[in-house]
């Protein structure tokens, strides 16, 4: 190597830390920097190879490569101004993506060691860079210089371009998949593919525009410029793409910028979470075919529901014009928001988002009604309506498509609720017209009241169905050893489990607080054996009645006299308290929730079943077993449902919604 220039890099430790080690946090972002360098080198092919066994990543391109002087002056010079030195157009007529010559340092954020092999005009240069050796070499020295280790061995299969081999990878490769890498690289570039004569492959699999993976999730699309190819790849659009560029041409001219790309919305926000866990609910900004900022949606502060469904890619070349200065922040991952060019872009995009919000709401309402109509029973229900009433109903149920809904089951519940709400609204309209009816219209008045009765029936039918679902869920989840604890927490707020006619009385919170305090004090007086037998003692007011619930452990059998004695003390104490309240005239009922009956229940001679019942009646109490509680409640509600189906006019509509499975289009 006599007479050759020495390979030397000059860099500060601060630059290495901030522009290298800490620049990026994931492998796809680093690969994108290397791919961008290959584009700038006029490469037509870039191959990325992941070796999980050896834990290496190899990136090879067939670009112009570098001779030794090129390595020293360009690659080893941090801050090399590529466009100033080599021009703003490559030999193939490409607009270079690189600007400040620092992207190469990003490799040290995922790898400790990088072996670089590059050739130009048959001159080969090979060297190794080690992040930890660089750190030691430049730490505490005024020169801040580092000399890479020159390599003698040359890969026999490398004849053109550049190969970079990354080893001692600091990020895990085990969970990384080819498809996942293709997706994430494809999303960072708009120039990959045959159209631009730039083929990128990962482990032999070519990356293409479709690998971005979100085109088939789009429901609505707004385009800027010629996006014919992209729009045609979106197979599930429910409406034709809406071209917007000609509409905002004057606005763009006034702002002094141009826009290309698209903004779209998906059917459900869940579609904006991909397999790698990335959040795709964003609008990315591209310059010169490469992502410059991953998301600008946040800066607009859109709180409306439509914003949860947004995704987009916008291209603005005026953001990267050399004579206007560098708009990128020092991290190279975002743009300077106070730059006049960015502010102009922000004004235009905000205006577009407002338009999209309006169109999205309009289309979602209309398409929501169409979707609801695909349920045969809902279609029949709508068919029975006339004129403005039908139009109102379609708008009404269409609104559920503009409400945040996590899944199809939630949408079905919303649809049922919408129909009930509309029927209630319709009855109110009829009641409002009663003042206009003449005395001889009594028959019409009776028809209105009959329809109101039907609606109340439907409302209660849905309540009963929900209660039945709760009971079945409790039955499936309660284990033998903790059933009383589960029921205890639930029964306090849902008295209908004990008696379908009981509903929690409102406005009695003060008396409940006083009584429950008394019962807690009573519990404190129990001996150890009595305390161990009890799960809880609770008091609630049902409509027109005071209810005390004594819960004993399922494994405990309490003697009748002991139980009666305890209950009498509760009843008498509670009666004294409620005599000073507005509910003083209400009767007291005490429920003993047990796992098993008292021993006296089984006496062949003596007290027996009836004797237990009669003795408890003297203290206003009755026994309910845990298993009995749920079984009886389920049986009672199931019987009601079976009879209810015969008279509820909306039951079939709701049942069809519940069981409806939409057809899947190919």
Provide φ and ψ at 165, rounded to 5°: -115, 115
What pLDDT does 487 receive? 73
What's the topology of domain 9-209? Heat Shock Protein 90 (3.30.565)
Q: Is the pLDDT of residue 10 over 50?
A: yes
**How long is the chain?**
666
Confidence band of 571 (pLDDT split at 50, 70, 90):
confident
Residue 126 has pLDDT above 90, yes or no: yes
Predicted confidence band of residue 588 (pLDDT cuts 50, 70, 90): confident
Instruction: Give the separation between CA 46 and CA 60, rounded to whole angstroms.
Output: 6
The domain ranges of the chain are 9-209, 213-356, 368-471, 478-619
- Higher-confidence position of 399 and 116: 116
Q: Specify the pairing of strand 242-243 against strand 218-224.
A: parallel
User: Number of H helices and number of E strands within the chain?
Assistant: 20, 20
- Structure confidence at residue 391 (pLDDT): 80
Q: Provide the greatest CA pair distance for the chain.
A: 119
- The token pair that represents 295 in the structure block: 């998301």
Confidence of residue 666 (pLDDT cuts 50, 70, 90): very low
Report how far apart the first and last C-alpha atoms of the chain are (Å, whole number).
64
Q: Would you give the DSSP letter of residue 558? A: -
Residue 440 has pLDDT above 80, yes or no: no
- Model confidence at 12, pLDDT cuts 50, 70, 90, reads low
Assess contact for 76 and 56: CB atoms under 8 A: no
Bigger pLDDT: 158 or 506? 158
For residue range 140-153, list pLDDT tens digits in order. 655 678 889 999 99
Counting beta carbons within 10 angstroms of the beta carbon of residue 428, is it exposed (0 to 12), middle (13 to 18) or buried (19 or more)? Answer: exposed
| E strand intervals along 348-450 | none
163: left (phi over 0), alpha (psi -120 to 50) or beta: beta
- The alpha carbons of the chain give a radius of gyration, in whole angstroms, of 37
**E-strand spans in 52-196?**
56-61, 111-120, 123-130, 145-146, 149-150, 161-169
Beta bridge partners of 120: 123
Q: What share of the chain is helix, strand, coil (3-state, %, to 5)?
A: 50, 20, 35
Which of 438-452, 464-478, 617-631 reaches the highest mean pLDDT? 617-631
Letter string b/e over residues 10-42, b meaning 16 or more CB atoms within 10 A of that residue's CB: ebeeebbeebbbebbeebbbbbbbbbbbbbbbb
Percent of the chain with pLDDT over 70: 75
Mean pLDDT of 411-420: 71
With b for 16 or more beta-carbon neighbours within 10 A and e for fewer, the 555-572 pattern comes to eeebebeebbebbeebbe
* pLDDT > 90 in the chain, percent: 29
Count of alpha carbons within 13 Å of 371, Cβ hemisphere only?
23
pLDDT at 507: 54
Tokens of 640: 């009601």
For residues 242 and 221, is the Cβ–Cβ distance under 8 A?
A: yes
Which pLDDT tens digit goes with each residue over 66-76?
999 988 888 88
Residues with Cβ within 8 Å of residue 53, at least 6 apart in sequence? none
CA distances from 307 to 283, 337, 358, 629, 659 (A): 11, 21, 11, 47, 31
Residue 186 predicted with pLDDT over 80? yes
What is the per-residue pLDDT across 304-327, written as a single tens digit (0 to 9) for each? 889 999 999 999 887 766 555 555
* pLDDT reading at 445 higher than 60: no
Q: What H or E segment, with its residue span, contains residue 357? A: helix 340-373
CA angle in degrees (0–180, nearest 5) for 298-304-309:
70
With beta carbons less than 8 A apart as the criterion, state whether 497 and 491 touch. yes
Question: How many angstroms separate the CA atoms of 184 and 101, rounded?
Answer: 23
Pairing of strands 283-287, 290-293: antiparallel
Rounded-to-integer distance, Cα 466 and Cα 472, Å: 10
Is the pLDDT reported for residue 343 higher than 70? yes
pTM for the model: 0.63
For 451, phi then psi, to 5°, come to -65, -35
Closest C-alpha among 79, 51, 87 to residue 167: 51
Over the stretch 193-237, which tens digit does the pLDDT of each residue have?
999 999 999 999 999 988 988 888 999 999 999 999 999 999 999
Q: Name the more confident of 107 and 43.
A: 43
Give the list of residues 6+ apart from residue 646 with CB closer than 8 angstroms, or none.
none
User: Would you say residue 160 has pLDDT above 50?
Assistant: yes
Sheet holding 123-130, edge to edge: 149-150, 123-130, 111-120, 161-169, 56-61, 45-51, 199-202, 205-206
Residue 581 pLDDT class (50, 70, 90 cuts): confident
Specify the DSSP element, H or E, that contains 541: strand 534-542
Confidence of residue 665 (pLDDT cuts 50, 70, 90): very low
Mean pLDDT of the chain: 80
**According to the model, what pLDDT value does residue 200 have?**
97
Tell whether the model's pLDDT for residue 330 goes beyond 50: no
Query: Is 554 within 8 Å of 486 (Cβ atoms)?
Result: no
What number of other Cβ atoms are within 10 A of residue 93's Cβ?
Answer: 7
Give the pairing type, strands 56-61 and 199-202: unpaired
Is it the case that residue 472 has pLDDT exceeding 50?
yes
Residue 354 and residue 633 in contact, taking contact as beta carbons nearer than 8 Å: no
Confidence of residue 460 (pLDDT cuts 50, 70, 90): low
**Which of these ranges, 100-104, 277-281, 569-573, has the smallest mean pLDDT?**
100-104
What confidence tens digit (pLDDT) does each residue in 71-117 have? 888 888 776 666 556 667 889 999 888 765 566 778 888 899 999 99
């Amino acid at each position: 190597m006599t007479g050759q220039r020495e390979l030397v890099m000059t860099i500060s430790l601060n630059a290495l830390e901030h522009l290298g080690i800490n620049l990026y946090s994931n492998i796809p972002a680093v690969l994108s920097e290397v791919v961008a360098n290959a584009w700038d080198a006029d490469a037509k092919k870039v191959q990325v190879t992941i070796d999980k066994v050896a834990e290496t990543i190899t990136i090879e391109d067939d670009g112009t490569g570098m001779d030794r002087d090129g390595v020293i002056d360009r690659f080893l010079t941090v801050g090399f101004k590529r466009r100033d030195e080599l021009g703003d157009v490559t030999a193939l007529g490409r607009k270079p993506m690189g600007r400040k010559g620092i992207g190469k340092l990003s490799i040290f954020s995922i790898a400790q060691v990088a072996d670089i092999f590059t050739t130009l005009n048959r001159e080969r240069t090979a060297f190794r860079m080690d992040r930890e050796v660089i750190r030691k070499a430049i730490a505490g020295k005024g020169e801040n210089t580092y000399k890479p280790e020159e390599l003698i061995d040359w890969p026999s299969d490398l004849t053109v371009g550049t190969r970079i081999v990354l080893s001692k990878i600091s990020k895990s490769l085990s969970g990384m998949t080819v498809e996942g890498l293709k997706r994430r690289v494809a999303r960072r570039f708009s120039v990959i593919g045959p159209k631009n004569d730039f083929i990128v492959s990962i482990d032999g699999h070519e990356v293409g525009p479709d690998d971005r993976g979100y085109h088939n999730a789009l429901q609505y699309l707004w385009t800027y410029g010629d996006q014919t190819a992209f729009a045609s790849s979106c197979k599930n659009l429910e409406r034709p793409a809406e071209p917007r560029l000609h509409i905002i041409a004057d606005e763009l001219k006034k702002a002094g910028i141009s826009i290309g790309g698209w903004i779209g919305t998906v059917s459900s926000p869940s579609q904006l979470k991909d397999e790698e866990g990335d959040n795709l609910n964003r609008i990315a900004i591209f310059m010169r075919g490469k992502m410059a900022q991953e998301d600008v949606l946040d800066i607009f502060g859109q709180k409306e529901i439509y914003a949860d469904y947004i995704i987009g890619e916008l291209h603005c070349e005026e953001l990267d014009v050399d004579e206007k200065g560098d708009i990128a922040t020092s991290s190279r991952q975002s743009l300077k928001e106070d730059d006049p060019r960015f502010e102009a872009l922000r004004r235009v995009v905000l205006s577009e988002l407002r338009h999209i919000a309006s169109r999205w709401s309009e289309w979602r309402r209309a398409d929501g009604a169409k979707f609801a109509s695909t349920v045969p029973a809902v279609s029949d229900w709508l068919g029975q309506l006339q004129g403005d009433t039908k139009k109102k109903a379609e708008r009404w149920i269409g609104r559920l498509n503009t409400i945040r809904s996590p899944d199809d089951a939630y949408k079905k519940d919303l649809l049922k609720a919408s129909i009930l709400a509309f029927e209630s609204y319709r009855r109110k309209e009829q009641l409002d017209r009663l003042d206009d009816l003449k005395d001889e219209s009594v028959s019409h008045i009776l028809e209105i009241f009959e329809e109101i009765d039907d609606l109340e029936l439907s409302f209660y039918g849905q309540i009963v169905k929900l209660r039945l679902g709760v009971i079945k869920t409790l039955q499936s989840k309660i284990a033998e050893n903790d059933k009383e604890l589960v029921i205890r927490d639930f029964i306090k707020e849902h008295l209908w489990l004990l008696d379908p006619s009981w509903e929690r009385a409102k406005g009695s919170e003060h008396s409940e607080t006083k009584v429950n305090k008394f019962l807690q004090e009573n519990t404190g007086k129990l001996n150890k054996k009595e305390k161990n037998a009890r799960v809880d003692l609770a008091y609630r007011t049902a409509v027109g009645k005071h209810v005390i619930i004594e819960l004993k452990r399922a494994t405990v059998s309490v003697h009748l006299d002991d139980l009666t004695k305890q209950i009498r003390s509760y009843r008498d104490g509670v009666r004294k308290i409620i005599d000073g309240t507005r509910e003083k005239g209400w009767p007291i009922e005490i429920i003993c929730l047990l796992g098993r009956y008292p021993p006296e229940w089984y006496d062949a001679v003596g007290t027996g079943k009836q004797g237990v019942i009669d003795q408890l009646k003297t203290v206003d109490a009755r026994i309910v077993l845990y298993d009995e509680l749920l079984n009886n409640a389920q049986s009672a509600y199931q019987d009601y449902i079976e009879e209810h189906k015969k008279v509820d006019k909306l039951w079939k509509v709701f049942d069809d919604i519940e069981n409806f499975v939409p057809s899947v289009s190919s």
